[in-house]
Amino acid sequence: MIDTDALFARLPALGSVRVLVVGDVMLDRYVYGAVERISPEAPIPVLRVERESAMLGGAGNVARNLAALGAQTIFATVAGGDAAGHEIAGLLGEERAIEAQLVIEQGRVSTVKNRFVGGAQQLLRADRELAAPLSATARQNLLARVGPSLSECDVVILSDYGKGVLADGVARDIIGAARDAGRAVIVDPKGRDYGVYAGATALTPNRLELADATGMPTGSDGEVEAAARALIARLGLDHVLATRGAQGLSLVRADGTALHVPARSVEVFDVSGAGDTVIATFAAALGGGLAADDAALLANVAAAVVVAKLGTATCSLAELARGLLGSGGADPHASKVADLARLRDEVARWRQAGLKVGFTNGCFDLLHPGHVSLMRQARAACDRLVVGLNSDDSVRRLKGAGRPVNGETARATVLASLADVDLVTVFAEDTPLALIEAVRPDVLIKGADYTRETVVGADLVEGWGGRVVLARLAEGHSTTATIRRMGGG
C-alpha cells in the first residue's frame, strides 16, 4: 500500500538535489502535419507539413526532466561542430535551469532523430548518426569538466545511448571517480557488456535490455528478479530498476528482495523518452534522501505522466504531485481544475495529438440547464473544451456585491464534474482576453445572446484561423432570475 501523504510530503526534497548528468546528447526533431491522401508515386501517405519543433533528446532529455522536477542540473556532453551540434548548443543555452558543460568535437556527427507525425500517429523516423568513441582531446575535455562537478553534486546519472560519449572506459572512469567522492551513480545502460558499469549504484535497463545483457528470460516477475540478481552479483550493484513497459517496473535490491510496481492505467500517446523520465526521477529521489522503494514508486508515477504526452516529454514536479495524489483517492474532478502553467502544457499536448481546442467562459454562479446545454454544444464543436471561470473578485465587479453565491472553488468543482468539460481555469481579470491568448483556441463559443462583434477575443481567434460559434440558448433559465426568486419568494 502506497503511503501517498508521506511521499507527497517528501516531494520538495527533489528540488534541493544537485545532479550531474553525463551521456549522449541528441537532437529530437518533430515534423507535424496532416495526412489526407496517398502518394501517386508509391503506396505511402503524403504528409502535409504544418509545423516543426526541435528539442534536446537522449541524455539531454534526462537533464530536461531533472530541471522540470526542480533539481539543480549539471549536464556534461559532447556534440559535433556541425549544424545540429550548434542547434544543440542553442537549445542548451535556452535551458536556464541546466548548467551545460558542452564539449564541441570538430568532425563529429551529431545525432539527430527526425520524427514525422501525421495527426497523432508517428509515420516515420529518420536518424542521422555515427556512433564512435570520443577523440583523445574531446575525452580529456569532457573528464576535465566532470571532475570538478563531482564535488558539487549529490548523485550522478550516466545516460548511455551507445553513441560513444561514454565508450572506451569513460563510463568506468566516471564511476570510479564518483564512488571515490562518495556519490551514487545511476546508469541507463546500453549494449550487452554491462561490465563497463561495474561499481555503479544502480542500473535501469528495460526488460529486453536486461535479457540481452544476462542471457536470461525476463518475461515474469520471478524471471526479472533472477536476471537482476545475477547482474547485481556480477557488477557489485545496490539495485537494478527494470522498466517493463505495460507491466510497470521492478526494483530488485542487493539483499535479494524485490518490489514490483504495476504500470498506471493511462491513455498512452507516446513512450518516447519514458526511460529518461524514470532515471531522472529515481536519481533525484535517491539524491533527496528517499528510500529506493519510494524513489521507484515516484518514477512509476512520472512515467505515467510522460507517456500520456506526444513527443519527447518531461514530467514537472507539479505534474508528479498531481499524479501521486491521483492514486490516493483525491477528488477525480479536481484534476480538471488547472492553473495557467498546467493549462498551457495540456493544450500543447492536445495540439500535438492533432485535437481541436475549444474555449468558453463565464461566471457560472448557479449552474442550470442552460449552462449544461451551452457546454454540450461547445464540446460538440471541438475535441477538447477549456472553460474560463471568473474569479470571485471578478464576479463582484461584474455582478455587484452579494455575488457570487458560490465561491470560485465550488463553481470550478461543479463545472469540472461535467463530462463535456476537459479543463477549468479561473481568471481574475474582467474579461478572458489574456486567457484566450494563452489557449489560442480553434473554436470560441458563447451563447446566442452575444453577437460576433460583442464576443471578447473573436477577432483574435479568427485572426489565427479559428472560428466563433454562437450556441443556441435554452430558454427560461437565468442565474439572476433564480437568485431573484430565491430572495423575493
Task: List residues with catalytic annotation.
Answer: 276
Q: What is the rounded CA–CA span in Å between residue 261 and residue 258? A: 10
Q: Measuring CA to CA, which residue among 262, 331, 364, 252 is closest to residue 303?
A: 262
Amino acid sitting at position 192: R
Burial of 453 (0-12, 13-18, 19+ CB in 10 A): exposed
Amino acid sitting at position 57: G
Joined grid coordinates for residue 301: 508515477
Question: Which residues, at least 6 apart from 128, have a Cβ–Cβ distance to it below 8 Å?
Answer: 84, 109, 111, 112, 114
186 φ, ψ (degrees, to nearest 5): -110, 130
**Alpha helix locations (H) across 353-432?**
369-380, 392-399, 408-416
Q: What is the rounded CA–CA span in Å between residue 288 and residue 224? A: 27
Enclosing H/E stretch for 339? none
Burial of 383 (0-12, 13-18, 19+ CB in 10 A): middle
